[in-house]
């Protein structure tokens, strides 16, 4: 049987290696994150028609009006969430095609990822089985409330923008845990929240552009 992860030409491991080099030039320094980006076959998370563009530094459509984030932002958010620590449990809000969850899955013991669009959950679950990413649990639901059953989390990554930090999510962090999200509506910045006891330190970083975090499920 062919190895489902191997690609050719624009989808080959060599092309992915060039993407990793570019991430390094763009300022990603966490070698564990760079290694994870080098392993996960990004082309297999998107439509066949777009696969030749999988390793460009661009967001791509994944259907249902949603996008897969560009490789730089996935690496950047992962690096910020990890902050050099070993990760036990991680929560992602906004699974989409499951690429970011797969990258997190390389660095954490277990990942819980929540998506509000049922059809996307079905599609992504099937892909994850095929690719044998076994330490990722997909949940259909409104991630705004997090997933208390799996809490506390060492890190929480929100892949959709919102005007404030959802309160429920902050409370699901471990002491010393970190939450990374795009903050804002039209104008968004990357926000890192670090929990120390019951105080939450907020740091605002670069400008970003994400789809909105929406309430409820569909
Ligand atoms: N991490 C994804 C990026 C997906 S885009 C990837 O690697 O491809 C953001 C996703 O967040 C969309 O699929 C959208 O449906 C989802 N989303 C928006 N609001 C949500 C909510 N309240 N709960 C869960 N998912 C949500």
Q: For residues 88-102, give the mean pLDDT.
A: 97
Ligand 1 atom, smallest distance to 114 CA: 24
Measure Cα distances from 75 to 6, 26, 139 in Å: 21, 10, 23
- The residue nearest atom 18 of ligand 1, judged by CA position, is 213
Please report the DSSP string for 108-134 in residue order.
Answer: EEEEEEEES-HHHHHHHHHHHHHHT-T
Alpha-carbon distance 173 to 137, whole Å?
Answer: 18
CA proximity to 181, closest of 192, 172, 171, 195: 192
Reply yes or no on whether the pLDDT at 97 is more than 80. Answer: yes
Q: 114 in a domain, yes or no?
A: yes
Distance (Å) from CA 134 to ligand 1 centroid:
20
Q: 4 in a domain, yes or no?
A: no
Look at the pTM and tell me if it is higher than 0.85: yes
Question: What CATH number did the domain enclosing 103 receive?
Answer: 3.40.50.150
Q: 88 in a domain, yes or no?
A: yes
Q: Is 69 a catalytic residue?
A: yes
Q: For residues 160-164, give the mean pLDDT.
A: 98
Q: 1 in a domain, yes or no?
A: no
High-pLDDT (> 90) share of the chain, %: 94
Q: For residues 68-95, give the mean pLDDT.
A: 97
Give me the pLDDT at residue 32, please.
98
Reply yes or no on whether the pLDDT at 65 is more than 50. Answer: yes
> Which of the following is catalytic: 12, 69, 164, 199?
69
Show the domain range for 170: 9-208
Reply yes or no on whether the pLDDT at 5 is more than 80. Answer: no
Average of per-residue pLDDT values in the chain: 95
66 in ligand 1 pocket by Cβ < 6 Å? yes
Q: What is the pLDDT of residues 172-218, one digit of tens each?
A: 999 999 999 999 999 999 999 999 999 999 999 999 999 999 999 99
Give me the pLDDT at residue 30, please.
98
What total number of domains does the chain contain?
1
Q: 218 in a domain, yes or no?
A: no
Reply yes or no on whether the pLDDT at 1 is more than 50. Answer: no
- The residue nearest atom 19 of ligand 1, judged by CA position, is 213
Q: 217 in a domain, yes or no?
A: no
Q: 2 in a domain, yes or no?
A: no
**Which pLDDT band holds residue 3 (cuts at 50, 70, 90)?**
low
């Amino acid at each position: 049987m062919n190895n489902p992860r191997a690609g050719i030409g624009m989808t080959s491991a060599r092309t992915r290696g060039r993407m990793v080099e570019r991430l390094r030039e763009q300022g990603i320094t966490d070698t564990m994150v760079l290694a994870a980006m080098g392993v996960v076959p990004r082309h297999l998370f998107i439509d066949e028609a777009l696969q030749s563009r999988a390793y460009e530094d661009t967001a791509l459509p994944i259907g249902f009006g949603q996008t897969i984030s560009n490789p730089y932002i996935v690496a950047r958010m992962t690096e910020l969430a990890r902050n050099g620590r070993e990760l036990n449990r991680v929560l992602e809000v906004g699974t989409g095609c499951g690429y970011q969850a797969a990258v997190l899955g390389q660095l954490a013991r277990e990942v819980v990822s929540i998506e509000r669009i049922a059809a996307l959950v079905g599609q992504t679950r099937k892909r994850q089985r095929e690719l044998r990413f076994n330490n990722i649990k997909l949940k259909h639901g409104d991630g705004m409330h997090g997933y208390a059953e799996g809490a506390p989390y060492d890190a929480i990554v929100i892949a959709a923008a919102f005007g404030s930090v959802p309160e429920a999510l902050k409370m699901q962090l471990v002491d010393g845990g970190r939450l990374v999200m795009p903050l804002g509506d039209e104008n968004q910045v990357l926000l890192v929240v670090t929990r120390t006891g019951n105080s939450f330190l907020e740091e605002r970083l670069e400008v970003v552009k994400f789809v909105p975090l929406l309430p409820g499920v569909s």
